Amino acid sequence: METASTAFRDLTLAGFVDRLASAEPVPGGGSASAVAASLGAALVAMVAALSVGRPRYAPHADTHEIAGGRGRELADRFLALADRDADAYARFSAALKLPRETDEEKTARAAGLDAAARVAAEVPLDCVEACRELAAAAEMLAGRSNANAASDLSVASLLAEAAARGAAANVLVNLPSIADAELTRSMAMRVEALLRDVERLGAATREVVGSGQARDPLPASGV
C-alpha cells in the first residue's frame, strides 16, 4: 500500500494522480510542475535516443549524446524536486501552526516562518532553473535530431514552460513571508529572467520544428 512517506517516483502514475486529486495538501502545484517537467525531460532523452545511430543525423552525434544525458539527468532531478517541494510545504505548514500566545512564541514563530519560507521559495526556484536547462536541451536538438520525433521536442518545450510558470508562482507566493527584502528582490528578478529564457528557447524550438528545417551541427563549444 502506498503511504504518505512514499517518494513520488515510487508511486504508480495512477497512484500519483489519485494522491494529487485527494484532499491532502501534498502533492500540490509545485510537485505537479516538477513531475510535468520530468516528462518533458524524458521526451528530450527519447528524441536523442531515437536519433543515435541514424546515418542521416550522424553529424549531430555529439549533440545527441549530450542532450540525451541532460534529459535523463533532468528527469531524475525533477522527480527529486517534486519530493523536495512537498517537504518544503510541510515545513512551512508546520511553522504556521507554531504557538503565538507570548512574545517569545511570536518571535520564534516569525523566525520559523521566515526560515521555512526561504526553503519553500528556493526549491521551486531550483525547479525554474532546471526548466531553463530543459528548454535549452530541447532547443539544442531541434533541427538536429530525428525528424519523425520533432513534435515531441515541441511538447517538451511546452512542458518546460508550463512547469517553469508553475514553479515560479510558488516562488513568488512565498516571498512575502521572507524578511530579507534584498533576497526577495533578487529572487523575484531571477525568476523573471529565467522565465524569459524558457519562453525564448521554447519559441525557438517550436519555430524550428514547425518549419521542418535542418540545422547545422553545433560547434564543439556550443555543445
Please give the share of the chain, as a percent, with pLDDT higher than 70: 96
> Residues 90-94: contacts with CB within 8 Å, 24+ apart?
90/26, 91/116, 91/119, 91/120, 92/116, 92/117, 92/119, 92/120, 92/174, 92/177, 93/25
pLDDT for res 220:
75
Domain-located, residue 17: no
Q: How many domains does the chain have?
A: 1
In this structure, are residues 95 and 109 in contact, taking their beta carbons and an 8 Å threshold?
A: yes
Q: Tell me what the mean pLDDT of segment 153-171 comes to.
A: 98
Backbone Cα Rg of the chain? 20
Assess whether pLDDT exceeds 50 at residue 3: no
The full DSSP string for 7-53 is -GGGS-HHHHHHHHHSSSS-S-HHHHHHHHHHHHHHHHHHHHHHHTT
Between CA 36 and CA 54 the distance in angstroms is 29
> Is residue 218 domain-resident?
no
Structural domain that includes position 66: 25-209
CATH, residue 118: 1.20.120.680
pLDDT in the model for residue 4: 47
Q: Is the pLDDT of residue 1 over 70?
A: no
Is 55 a member of any domain?
yes
Hey, what's the cell of 122? 528556493
**Within a domain: 73:** yes
Predicted confidence band of residue 5 (pLDDT cuts 50, 70, 90): low
pLDDT mean across residues, the chain: 94
Domain-embedded: residue 31: yes
Residue 9 lies in a domain: no
154, pLDDT greater than 50 = yes
Look at residue 148 and tell me if it is in a domain: yes
**Average pLDDT value for residue range 62-73:** 98
Q: What is the reported pLDDT for 2?
A: 38
In a domain, 91, yes or no: yes
